Structure 1
Amino acid sequence: MSLNPSKVAPEPEPEREAGPGPGPEAQGPGPEGESGPPAGPGPEPEPPSAAGQDREPERGRAAGPSAEPPPPPASRPEALRAPRPRCRTDCLQAPLSRAFQRLGRKVGAHPWVFLLLPVALTAVLGTGLMYLPRDGDEDLEEQYTPIGSPAKAERRFVQGHFTANDSLVFSVSRKSTDVPYASLLVVSDTETLLEPDILEEISKVDDAVQALTVTQDNGTQIPYSEVCAKNQGACVPPNPLLFAWKRNKGLNLTAITFPIYSPAGQIVSLANILGGTVLGPSQSLLQAKAMRLQYYLETDEGEENEPSKAWMIHFLTKFGSFEKSLALKKIQVVYFSSLSRKLEFEATSRMVVPLFHLAYLLIILFAIVSCYRCDCVRNKMWVAVFGVVSTGLAVVSSFGLMLYIGVPFVLIVANSPFLILGVGVDDMFIMISAWQKTSLTDSVSERMSDAYSQVAVSITITTLTNVLAFYTGVMSSFRSVQYFCIYTGTTLLFCYFYSITCFGACMALDGKREGVCLRWLEKPGTPGQKCSSFKKSCCLPGSSLQDGWKADIHPMNLFFRDYFGPLLTSTKSKVFVVLLYVSYIVTSIYGCFRVEEGLDLRNLASDDSYITPYFNVEEEHFSTYGPRVMVIVTEVLDYWDKDARQRLEKCLADFENSEYVDEDLTEFWLRERGRDRMKF
């Protein structure tokens, strides 16, 4: 039967205690005969309307001053309240974990398939390494200067409008590209080299260099006289002052002016030819500590030709030996060439390659120490070794693939395996740690499924962030950085793929070994148990029977959990960490203001390279005068117009007034033409 709620008698209310309280009229119905809200559960009262709010003062006045507001409605039970909506944060974690669970189960069920397929893929892609460049002929300017830089556009403009014919008259100041050369810096052991006996030793060195002859494989010989830059049929002298002294050894060395010297009416700039100078009155040269000998060679369309290149390589190879044969007593000589930067950079990169073996050996040793257990079942020593090997397989596969599709292999890419080795091994340790937390009593497929579900988000997110970080480097304006980022990002993708397939299969096979070892340890003397001697050698007695159903906890985890964690959460440690971080930020900001722009070429070569003393001498004695700057007017200019010439002179005067420019060294063909006309 059903009851009509309107006919159910209300329960009697308990009697109130005597005392001050509201009058009887306050307990009765309201002005409109409304009864109070029921005490039991029910729907919440709707908020009062505007009209009801307007009637509240009237109700209060009708009840009198002793009336109290009606008691609030009883709250609903917690079970009847609507649950608050939760913010779902597992939109990526849940599907990714489920996908990795299925993958882990398949890897555990078919480990040999997931092991052999990546190895076969590596064998196929590894054949692309045959396209590695052998000759090392790399254009440093193309790879290590910005793409589309204004300097390159300006040089193309100069080459298109100001062609130079070096067959008759060679002028290095008109060259818009580097001219191939061999250079010597001679430093005197005394205060000055402007002495006849010292100049005699320098002359011996000069004669020995010009006597160098290259014998090629086909028997042809290339003397210096065939490859030198010529001026009216004769080789350009390496040093005009030394050339003048050799022609006239009675030359008055005390009458030399610096930086402009005018022998026989010809203007010669000595700015970058003599270094460590001491000047007297009227710019007279009193002392010179160092001298530069610059041997310019022939070029073919702005680049060194093969004979010139062969002679320079021969010069770099033989100079050290014949310098000793000259038995120099009063001077020190250092040497350099326009090929030295490239050759030393390539040599430094080749020196890095043998270190790969040492790096992989150290990482394997670290992996063995980290994953070794005295427990024969939990021991993951050989699994860690294969994890390092899988990283090497990823390097071979990615490099072979990039070479197949034609991505240039620049020299700095040879350094990327060090970075890849450190980043790629991280996934191995994470997967081994997740495997150690699984139960030994579960099947291999279940354990692989559990381990993969635990590592799904961690290794995927870290791999994506690393790969995206490197692939954003493709937007760099340097081609070498672009190629380095392409190779490294692709290799990290292969590391991720090989970790969840090839290395996972190795873990599954090791899981089967764990099961065999565990059964052998439980019943070592069972007659019906068949185990090979190899399996028995892998199952030495250990503590697996005691905690075979417990997850393995690494001692490092225990250290951070029991010691480092409580220490870090103490008040003193928090204050110390905050102060340490503040000091770190302050030091970093200070270091940012100490950053210096520029590239020191000495850092590109090995510590014992011959270019290091050359740049040391150049910085010490030849740093006063820098490179020459070419100024070109790109618009049409009427040179015969006097006003146009005056505007041009004013423009040159503005350049010469700069603190970085020496006005005495300016060369301008219009000024030279004006001086020649004044002579006549």
Structure 2
Amino acid sequence: MEVIPFLVLAVGVDNMCILVHAVKRQTTDISLEGKISNALVEVGPSITLASLSEVLAFAVGSFIPMPAVRIFSMFAALAVFLNFILQVTAFVALIIFDIWRTNDNRIDCFPCVKLAPAVGSERAILQRKPEFLVRYMEDFHAPMLAIPGVKIMVIAAFTAATFMSIALCTRLQPGLDQKIVLPRDSYLQGYFDDLAHYLRVGPPLYFVVKDFNYSLESNQTNKICSISQCDSNSLLNEITKASLIPESSFIAKPAASWLDDFLVWLSPEAFGCCRKFVNGSYCPPNDQMCLGPVCLHFLQLCLKEPLIVKGKLKSAVR
């Protein structure tokens, strides 16, 4: 959100300069209202179309599902629209006040101070030379670009820059370094240094399996898990194999799945206590009296029954 004021300023200054320059180009034999009217007729459509395209461009960003980008786009579109409204209303009025100040020989930064009119000032205003930038564009820049050799050099330079940009665009690193957005004396600088030095890993990768049957009677479990008695070509086993081949895979470590932990937790060989008896009573974690044929028999019954009943996980085993 801190970027929006600078964005609005950059967009607004462009249109403001165009309006001021259009007013200055008007002849001196017409009234002030006529100058403003002619300037708006001359540059008003281009300013309107430019501002409208910017508003629509930011408005499209409001449909992005990412909350930060969506909020930024909405506020930026509203700010650019209000900026345009102020440019064609309030700023035009300020231009009129500035022209009055100039005609009254008042200093721009100190409008309360009035200078004495110089001799022949009105004639000097009528015979005033164009501004430096206007004379530069008219006398030097435009004639230079009209030279055939300069045309060829400009086209060749921009063509080379285009192909160079295409060739080097693959080396651009996505994202923004978090250290750049922090002050140099921030206490988080050391944290990010240690994070880059000791925990330099890539982004997390998630494999999501939908419409999965969690019951042990289903063969889909063996196609996912990676513990013993699971398929050798299961999803987790294939991910583990890919992590062992860095030449052809970017996966650094084997995948961690809750399904393996859940199956191990259900295994009677892994725990001596099932934590819950057949009658519904629980045993404490350190109670060795839970070890017995009743508990093991109950676990065996659980492993033979589906774990999903009407879309809900059975709570027989805890």
- The residue identity in structure 2 corresponding to 1:614 is Y
Shift of 1:424: 0.5
Q: Is structure 2 residue 160 aligned with structure 1 residue 602?
A: no
* Pairing 1:468-507 to 2, within 5 Å after superposition: 468-507=56-95
Tell me: CA distance 1:607–1:545, structure 2 relative to 1, closer, same or farther (3 Å): same
* Amino acid of the structure 2 residue aligned with 1:619: A
Structure 1, unpaired ranges of 5+: 1-412, 518-533
Identify the structure with the greater strand proportion: 1
The change in CA–CA distance for 1:423 and 1:637 in structure 2 (over 3 A counts) is: closer
Cα 1:640–1:477 change in 2 (3 A) is closer
- What does 1:336-375 align with in structure 2 at a 5 Å threshold? none
Aligned AA (2:262): W
Aligned AA for 1:608?
D
What's the TM-score once normalised by structure 2's chain length? 0.65
Residue 654 (str. 1) matches residue 238 (str. 2): yes
The offset of 1:589, in angstroms, is: 0.5
The equivalent of 2:46 in structure 1 is 458
- The equivalent residue for 1:562 is 139
Equivalent AA in structure 2 for residue 462 of structure 1: A
SS at match of 1:620: helix
1:148-547 correspondence runs (5 A): 413-516=1-104, 537-541=114-118, 544-547=121-124
The answer as to 2:263 corresponding to 1:670 is yes
Q: How far 1:571 moved relative to its partner?
A: 2.1
The 3 A distance-change label for structure 1 pair 448 and 543 is farther
**Distance (Å, rounded) in 1 between the aligned partners of 2:198 and 2:112:** 73
The amino acid that maps onto 2:54 is N
Distance 1:620 1:670 in 2: 36
The 1:628/1:585 distance shift into structure 2, 3 A limit, reads closer
- 8 Å contact kept, 2:104–2:114: no
1:636 aligns with 2:213: yes
Aligned to 1:593: 170
In 2, the alpha carbon distance for the partners of 1:612 and 1:444 equals: 57
Distance in 2 (alpha carbons) for counterparts of 1:654 and 1:609: 43
Q: Is the 8 A contact 1:473 1:482 kept in 2?
A: yes
Rg larger for: 1
Q: CA deviation at 1:417?
A: 0.3
Unaligned segments of structure 2, at least 5 residues: 106-110, 244-250, 273-290, 292-318
**Residue 560 of structure 1: CA displacement?**
0.9
Contact 2:212 2:220 in 1 (8 A): no
The one-letter amino acid paired with 1:656 is: T
The RMSD of aligned alpha carbons is 3.6
Q: Distance in 1 between matches of 2:125 and 2:240?
A: 85
Change (3 A) 1:618 1:516: closer
Report sequence identity in percent: 21
**Could you list the per-position Cα deviations for residues 626-673 of structure 1 after superposition, in whole angstroms to 9, with x for gaps in the alignment?**
8696877753333267x6664442223223222126459775332463
Q: 1:561 to 1:657 in 2, by over 3 A?
A: same
User: How far does the alpha carbon of each residue in 1:360-417 deviate from its partner, in whole angstroms, 9 at most, with x for none?
Assistant: xxxxxxxxxxxxxxxxxxxxxxxxxxxxxxxxxxxxxxxxxxxxxxxxxxxxx22210
Residues 156-188 of structure 1: per-residue CA shift (max 9 Å, x gap): xxxxxxxxxxxxxxxxxxxxxxxxxxxxxxxxx
- Relative distance call for 1:547 and 1:478 in structure 2 (3 A) is same
Question: Does the 8 A contact of 1:467 with 1:492 survive in 2?
Answer: yes
Aligned pairs, how many? 251
Residues 463, 496 of structure 1: 8 Å contact kept = yes
2:130 aligns with 553
Higher relative contact order (CA 8 A, sep 6+): 1
SS at match of 1:557: helix
The alignment partner of 1:608 has SS state of coil
Change (3 A) 1:644 1:484: closer
Deviation, 1:513, is 4.2
TM-score, scaled to structure 1:
0.33
